[in-house]
Amino acid sequence: MSDEQAILDANLGFYTAFATRDMAMMEQVWALEAPICCIHPGWSPLIGRRAVIESWAAILSDPGGLDISCADVEVAMHGQSALVVCREMLPQGQLLASNLFVRENGAWRLAHHHAGPGPQLAAASAVPTEGGALH
């Protein structure tokens, strides 16, 4: 499997954990050794594994629906890290997201997630495993 495909799979794992409220999977997606940060829409930055994981535990325990998917996925490799930029598709609109992955012990793990408002465009692709290089 190519690094790009492994990164796309890791990104898909993040959105699958999110959509299915799978906290164990969400914990596995995030880096264990690298410093991590998460910026949820409208939140202050969360720095460190404990703060990030606690935020996801709160979000995933909310009984409301988590109908989210990822589209327009682009990957840019940077040695032992990779940036994924995508559009998060939600029933109430779209967000733009950047996900920074790092290689830890041979696996790609999420080190940074940032989602926020962006232009409301028709998604070119709703298939999260498709991707291309950022220019």
pLDDT at 62: 85
Task: Report d(CA 83, CA 44) in Å as an integer.
Answer: 21
| Domain-embedded: residue 135 | no
Predicted confidence band of residue 15 (pLDDT cuts 50, 70, 90): very high
Task: Examine residue 48 and state whether it is found in any structural domain, yes or no.
Answer: yes
* Complete DSSP assignment for 9-40: HHHHHHHHHHHHT-HHHHHHHB-SSS--EEE-
Q: Residue 119 has what pLDDT?
A: 78
| Domain presence at residue 94 | yes
Residue 48, φ and ψ in degrees, nearest 5: 100, 150
Q: Give the pLDDT band (50/70/90) at residue 92.
A: confident
Q: Token pair 């298939």 is at which residue?
A: 127
> Who's near 82: CB < 8 A, 6+ residues apart?
3, 4, 7, 75, 76, 100, 101, 108
Segments forming the whole domain that contains residue 29: 3-129
- Residue 109 CA to chain centroid, in angstroms? 10
Please indicate, yes or no, if residue 99 is contained in any of the structural domains: yes
- The overall average pLDDT reported for the chain is 89
Average pLDDT over residues 103-110: 96
Is the pLDDT confidence value at 128 over 50?
no
53 part of a folded domain: yes
pLDDT at 134: 43
| pTM summary value | 0.86
Query: What element of type H or E holds 52?
Result: helix 49-61
The total domain count for the chain is 1
Domain at 64, CATH number:
3.10.450.50
Q: Has residue 129 got a pLDDT over 50? A: no
What is the Cα–Cα distance from 67 to 85, expressed in whole angstroms? 19
Residue 134, in any domain of the structure:
no
